[in-house]
């Protein structure tokens, strides 16, 4: 059976060495020594100023919204995982959807300004499949209209734009360290910022608002454990070889698939990518169903990612006009891509797809 993804697991003996340290310290949580070590190593590896390890990528977005004081309208993308929109609604903000580009499938900056009103407070954009948004144009729009920018960079560990980490863009960037990601801590996530004042508040918000024995503000339990940090410390040194292996699989798909009948995202900025996902867009939903059925007959399980278009969710307050997202969301299929996926299996997957387009 070949799933769309497979968790990378380091040698169990390496993990056990960290578990022994946990037993010796007898500190399992509350910003223990392994969490502190992981945060430092992540900052060094990524080249970022502040990195806060949290329990997951969704709580990272929620804390970002709280820290920035966002309470009203947020312009966001309809083409993302549901956590992007869920976080806004959970925090009683109003998602206002701007449609996507049909090239990189990120939010289209040209469609953001048309959605700005006196109630707009922020832009929450997703780097789709790890491909960067037009960060320079979004920064220009935000500055012009005095808006905050949060990037849902859940897929972006190790991605660089213009020779710097993608996490260095926006007021705050967030990432997921879920077990399906290029870098993972089993469950987890992180919040990144270059702003000293925001960093101080993020640190308070993720731990109930504590400041010493007192409380500075409201907060939430966004902390993560020593066991999760231990997994991250085991995986982090292997990230370069993980990305290199994924790159080889990515390029093999590129060489085998029939691009006269398929579409894939175009990366428009100078980008060092991490090969997080391999999405294709078929010519219709019917074709997608046919291709998926043939793959599943061989116990190969791709995933509709992202589906549905978030602007179509019933619990979103009002209807949105996002025809590009609506169109591509029903035709998007993420193919299997993981560290040790056999190249012969890639050839089989490509052959099945090409024969059923």
How far is the C-alpha of 243 from the C-alpha of 231, rounded, in Å? 18
Q: What pLDDT, in 10s, does the model give residues 241-274?
A: 999 999 999 999 999 999 999 999 999 889 999 9
Q: Within 13 Å, how many C-alpha atoms sit on residue 44's CB side?
A: 9
Gyration radius (Cα) of the chain, Å: 20
Q: How far is CA 273 from CA 66, 128, 223, 243, 343, in A?
A: 30, 12, 29, 9, 20
pLDDT at 105 over 80: yes
For residue 284 the two structure tokens come to 């219709």
Tell which residue, 96, 82, 64, has the closest CA to residue 220: 64
Residue 230 pLDDT > 70: yes
CB of 70 closer than 8 Å to CB of 45 = no
**Residue 19 binned pLDDT confidence (cut-offs 50, 70, 90):** very high
Q: Tens of pLDDT along 319-348?
A: 789 999 999 999 999 999 999 999 999 999
Q: Which residue has the tokens 């059925």?
A: 293
Domains of the chain with bracketed CATH: 2-237 (3.40.640.10), 239-354 (3.90.1150.10)
Of 331, 311, 271, nearest in space to 80 by CA:
311
CA distance 230 to 16: 9
Q: What angle do CA 295, 346, 5 make, to 5 degrees?
A: 75
**Helix spans in the chain (H):** 12-25, 33-46, 57-67, 82-90, 109-112, 135-145, 196-205, 226-235, 239-256, 285-297, 323-329, 343-354
Q: Which of 111-115, 185-189, 265-269 has the lowest mean pLDDT?
A: 265-269
pLDDT one-digit tens code per residue, 40-77: 999 999 999 999 999 999 999 999 999 999 999 999 99
40-48 contact pairs (CB < 8 A, 24+): 41/233, 41/236, 42/190, 42/232, 42/236, 45/236, 45/239, 46/158, 46/165, 46/167, 46/192, 47/164, 47/165, 47/168, 48/165, 48/167, 48/168, 48/192, 48/194
Q: Give the closest residue to 139 by CA, choosing from 93, 194, 178, 95.
A: 194
Residue 188, Ramachandran bin (φ over 0: left; ψ between -120 and 50: alpha; else beta): left
Closest listed residue to residue 6, CA positions, set 130, 180, 155: 180
Q: What is the mean pLDDT of the chain?
A: 97
DSSP state of 114: G
CA distances for 288 relative to 19, 68, 110, 138, 353, angstroms: 45, 41, 30, 33, 9
pLDDT digits (tens, 9 = 90+) for 311-325: 998 888 677 899 999
**DSSP assignments along 241-274, one per residue:** HHHHHHHHHHHHHHHHS-TTS-B-----S-EE--
Q: Give residue 317's pLDDT.
A: 65
Spatial distance between the Cα atoms of 326 and 336, rounded to a whole number of angstroms: 23
């Amino acid at each position: 059976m070949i799933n769309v993804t497979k968790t990378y697991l380091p040698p169990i003996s390496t993990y056990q060495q960290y578990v022994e340290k946990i037993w010796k310290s007898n500190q399992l949580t509350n910003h223990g020594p392994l969490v502190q070590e992981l945060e430092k190593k992540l900052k060094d590896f990524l080249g970022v100023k502040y990195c806060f390890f949290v329990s997951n990528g969704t709580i990272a977005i929620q804390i970002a919204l709280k820290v920035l004081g966002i309470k009203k309208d947020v312009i966001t993308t309809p083409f993302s995982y549901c956590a992007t929109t869920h976080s806004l609604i959970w925090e009683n903000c109003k998602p206002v959807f701007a449609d996507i580009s049909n090239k990189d499938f990120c939010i289209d900056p040209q469609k953001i300004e048309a959605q700005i009103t006196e109630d707009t407070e922020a832009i929450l954009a997703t780097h789709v499949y790890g491909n960067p948004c037009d960060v320079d144009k979004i920064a220009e729009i935000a500055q012009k209209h005095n808006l905050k920018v949060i990037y849902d960079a859940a897929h972006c560990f190790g991605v660089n734009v213009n020779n710097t980490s993608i996490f260095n863009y926006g007021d705050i960037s967030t990432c997921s360290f879920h077990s399906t990601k290029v870098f993972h801590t089993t469950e987890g996530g992180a919040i990144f910022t270059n702003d000293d004042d925001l960093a101080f508040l993020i640190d308070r918000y993720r731990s109930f608002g504590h400041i010493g024995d007192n409380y500075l503000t409201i907060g939430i339990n966004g902390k993560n454990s020593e066991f999760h940090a231990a997994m991250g410390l085991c995986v982090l040194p292997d990230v370069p070889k993980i990305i290199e292996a994924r790159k080889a699989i990515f390029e093999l798909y590129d060489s085998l698939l029939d691009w006269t009948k398929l579409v894939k995202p175009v990366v428009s900025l100078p980008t060092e990518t991490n090969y997080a996902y391999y999405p294709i867009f078929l010519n219709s939903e019917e074709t997608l169903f046919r291709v998926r059925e043939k793959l599943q007959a061989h116990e190969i399980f791709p995933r509709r990612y992202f589906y549905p278009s978030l602007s179509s969710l019933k619990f979103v307050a009002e209807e949105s006009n996002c025809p590009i997202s609506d169109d591509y969301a029903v035709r998007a299929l993420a193919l299997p891509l993981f560290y040790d996926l056999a190249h012969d299996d890639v050839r089989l997957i490509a052959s099945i797809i090409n024969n059923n387009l």
